[in-house]
Each structure stands twice: as C-alpha cells, then as structure tokens.
C-alpha cells in the first residue's frame, strides 16, 4: 500500500475534539475484590455504555465528520462487518442524514443485525465474511466504503477510548485491548504513546482466531479463508490490514486466549463489574491476568472493555457451565 502513513499520536486529540459532542464519555470501572485477589490496580474502560453499545461508534463517526469538514461527505456509505461496526456505521450515518448499506455474514449476531436495521441502514446478509467484503467493495464503486479498521480516521477514532482513560486517571503501567482487525489496538497504541511513551501495550486475541498474533510473531500478515468461529465474535475478521499491522508490529506483545479462558473471564467480569460484557471484552482481562502471573503484580493496568452487545444464544453458551467457583487468584483449570 503506497498511501500508508504512520500517524502521529496527537491525531487522537484531533479525533476526540471532533466527536465528543456526539459520543458518551464512558466510565472507568474497578473491582476491589479483583484488585485484592490479584494484588493489582486494574481499571476497565467500559465501552458497553458507548453509543451503539461499543467503541466502534467512535471510529465510524470520526471518519464521516472528517469527510464533512473536508466537504466530501458522501450521500451514501457502505460497510461490511461482523456486527458492532455495522451498528456504528448505521448510527453515524443516521446522525449525518446519509444513507447506509451494511453487508453482514450470516454468522453475525441477530441482535446486532436488528440494531443495524433500527438505525435505518439497509442490511444485506451474505453467506460468509469474504462474500460480505467482496460485495461491499463492489458497491463502493458508487459510494463511500467505511471499513471496520483499515482507515486512518477509523483508527484515530477508536483511540479516543484510551485517550479518555489516560486523561481521567493516567500513569498506567500497561494497557490491554482485544485485537480483531487491529483498529482498536492501533488507536490504543497511539493514544498511549501520546501520554506515556514508556507504558507497555499488549493485544489480546483468541487462540482460535490468532491471525494477528501469528502475523506479529512472523512479521508477515496471516489471513484466514473463513471466519474463525470463536465465541469472541468481534474478532472473527479474516486478517489485519497493512495499515493496522504497522502499529501492531510496535506492540510489546500478544496474548493468545483459549475459549475456556474467554468464557471464564466473561463470567467473572459480568459478576464483578455488574455490567454486560461481550466475550470479546474478556480477551483484555485474560491477557492482563497472564501478564500479572508472569511476575507483574502491583501494577496499574488499563483494560479496554470493547462493548456490551450480548445476544441470547451467546449468553447461553457463556453460562452453560459456571467457572465462578475458580477464583481469579488461581490458575484456570488448577
């Protein structure tokens, strides 16, 4: 990609000033029980209270508002998504009075599909993720394609979640965020570098969908042919982009999370924080837990909780077996 540029961290401030009249400043949550058990000071940035119930609204809105500033706002926008980006684009388009067409794979959450329609978008369902992406690119010949992560303004918008956390609390030793296509972790990297160049930044990804982790290890982007069927549906992307990979390569590391660990931490976060969390949200805490067990107790940690849109079928899978009898100060499975 010849048009790639490595954005400077202050782009996150610009994005935040652009979108803040439209979005919610989401809370930082803590659990004294969890902090005591793990001998750590953990803050959770809860994006489940964001517009559309996920961080994705930040990037979608920032992109469209920037286009409007440049007098390039399109009459129609098209997007492909596994769920939350679909809702975000539909909502952002509604705010600006433009048409949205969203293509989703058949495995997308029914709740997220219904919400996307509620925001006024035309929804097209395709068999799989690749077909959804292909159709979106085809339709984009006549309108604007707003990708879920492969766009500078999307990345900058996603980074505003971490910016809010830093400006409210600051001085974190380590930051953890889930990684699907890499938009959130790329924006989180930039926001963290804006406030603290020495803070460590880690991406967390399902072991079942570890294309980004493998790309990080090998230095070459790995891409799936089919969407991996992890419970963390926000990470069912086929691969990161060259744009997000340039930030991913600068991270301090990756944590790969098993499906049992995803279930475990989804249950515990729901119990401790008293909020709905998507399985994707459990990835950051699962990574932070591994980090703490590696000898990093007594650290101040930020975990990005990416969203709270949990459909009934996933809820049943999460709670089919309870792990709450295994306290977080013990190894899972011990």
Whether the Cβ atoms of residue 91 and residue 112 lie closer than 8 Å to each other: no
- Give, as one character, the DSSP assignment of residue 108: S
Q: Which helix (H) or strand (E) holds 258?
A: none
Per-residue pLDDT at 333: 45
For residue 168, the model assigns a pLDDT of 97
**Residue-level pLDDT at 35:** 97
Distance CA 193, CA 190 (A): 5
Q: Please tell me the pTM assigned to this model.
A: 0.95
Q: How far apart are CA 319 and CA 125, in angstroms?
A: 28
Write down the pLDDT at residue 334.
Answer: 39
- The rounded average pLDDT for each run of 10 residues, N- to C-terminus, in the chain (334 residues) is 83 98 98 97 98 97 98 97 92 98 91 92 93 94 95 98 96 97 98 96 98 98 93 91 98 97 97 95 97 97 94 90 88 49
CA distances from 162 to 12, 43, 147 (A): 9, 11, 21
Please report the domains of the chain, with CATH numbers, ordered by start residue: 11-55+153-318 (3.40.50.1100), 56-151 (3.40.50.1100)
Q: What is the torsional sign of CA 107, 118, 266, 167?
A: positive
């Amino acid at each position: 990609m010849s048009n790639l540029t490595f954005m400077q961290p202050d782009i996150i401030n610009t994005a935040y000033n652009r979108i803040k009249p439209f979005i919610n400043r989401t809370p930082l949550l803590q659990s004294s029980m969890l902090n005591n058990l793990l001998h750590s000071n953990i803050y959770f940035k809860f994006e489940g209270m964001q517009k559309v119930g996920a961080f994705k609204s930040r990037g979608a809105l920032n992109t469209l508002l920037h286009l409007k500033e440049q007098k390039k706002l399109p009459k129609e926008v098209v997007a492909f998504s596994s769920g939350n980006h679909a809702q975000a684009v539909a909502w952002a388009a509604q705010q600006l009075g433009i048409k949205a067409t969203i293509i989703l794979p058949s495995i997308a959450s029914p709740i997220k599909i219904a919400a996307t329609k509620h925001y006024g978008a035309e929804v097209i369902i395709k068999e799989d993720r690749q077909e959804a992406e292909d159709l979106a690119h085809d339709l984009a010949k006549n309108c604007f394609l707003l990708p879920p992560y492969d766009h500078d303004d999307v990345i900058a918008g996603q980074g505003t979640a971490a910016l809010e956390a830093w400006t409210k609390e600051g001085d974190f030793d380590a930051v953890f965020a889930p990684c699907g296509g890499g938009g959130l972790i790329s924006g989180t990297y930039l926001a963290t570098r804006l406030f603290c160049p020495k803070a460590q930044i880690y991406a967390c990804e399902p072991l079942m969908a570890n294309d980004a982790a493998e790309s990080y290890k090998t230095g070459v982007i790995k891409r799936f042919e089919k969407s991996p069927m992890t419970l963390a549906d926000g990470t069912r992307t086929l691969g990161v982009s060259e744009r997000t990979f340039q930030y991913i390569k600068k991270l301090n590391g990756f944590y790969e999370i098993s499906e049992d660990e995803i279930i475990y931490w989804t249950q515990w976060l729901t119990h401790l924080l008293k909020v709905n969390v998507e399985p994707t949200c459990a990835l950051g805490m699962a990574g932070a837990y591994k980090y703490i067990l590696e000898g990093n107790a007594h650290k101040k940690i930020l975990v990005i909780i990416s969203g709270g849109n949990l459909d009934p079928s996933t809820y049943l899978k999460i709670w089919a077996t309870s792990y709450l009898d295994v306290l977080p100060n013990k190894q899972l499975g011990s």
